[in-house]
Amino acid sequence: MTGTLLGAPDIGRALTRIAHEILERNDGADSVVLLGIPTRGLPLAERIAHRIAEVEPDFDADARCGALDITMYRDDLHKQPTRAIGTTRVPSAGIDDQVVVLVDDVLHTGRTIRAALDAVKDLGRPKAVQLAVLVDRGHRELPIRADFVGKNLPTSRSERVDVHLEEIDGDDAVILSAGRSDA
């Protein structure tokens, strides 16, 4: 099955559900910090943060959301062309003793999240680290699983999952296509 699997309304509902699950799991948002993994994890983290703020008015979505660049923590740097180092933006309160929710678009092999965990370790000592992803496509190479999943999409290794977001691509969609994905 190829084509658009999730449209804008589906993505919106998934993010709203994830926001509520984060609140339930953590007994509110007092100690929650969201760190989006660029590129598409960052706007997803910002959207989730704003949904949390709709439920918890004391939650400052902008102050409790940041970006986590993992470029220098990747285990495939020697195989990839030169990459520009992105920006890591940690909320002003830091991450020590906070529940850090890492946010990414697609969970595949687990290697991106392993790199993110290494990056978090260098930023401080959170109380806990949780993972929220829009799509879990399977095919893990490391023992990593998401705490919050928008949609489980069983795929073959030869299929590609592309996430489009309004902020970057001009529309919201999750598209499955034939072709190799190296995500």
- Please identify which residue in the block is written with the tokens 């339930």: 24
Q: Which residues contact 76 (CB under 8 A, 6 or more apart)?
A: 111
Distance (Å, whole) CA 3 – CA 8 = 14
DSSP 8-24: HHHHHHHHHHHHHHHHH
pLDDT of res. 183 = 44
Q: What percent of the chain has pLDDT over 70?
A: 94
What pLDDT score was predicted for residue 2?
A: 82
Instruction: Could you please state the CATH topology (level 3) that the domain comprising 9-78+85-156 is classified under.
Output: Rossmann fold (3.40.50)
Q: Is the pLDDT of residue 180 over 80?
A: no
Which of 93, 104, 96, 107 shows the shortest CA–CA distance to 68? Answer: 104
Q: Give the residue with greater pLDDT, 32 vs 74.
A: 32
Question: Tell me, what's the pLDDT at 103?
Answer: 98
Q: In 3-147, which ranges are E strands?
A: 3-6, 32-36, 65-67, 99-107, 128-136
The domain spans of the chain are: 9-78+85-156
CA distances from 100 to 91, 117, 139, 163 (A): 11, 10, 25, 23
Q: Which residue has the higher pLDDT, 59 or 84?
A: 59
Q: How many whole angstroms from its chain centre is CA 131?
A: 7
Position with higher pLDDT, 12 vs 79:
12
The answer to whether the CB of 116 falls within 8 A of the CB of 94 is: no
Q: What percent of the chain has pLDDT over 90?
A: 87
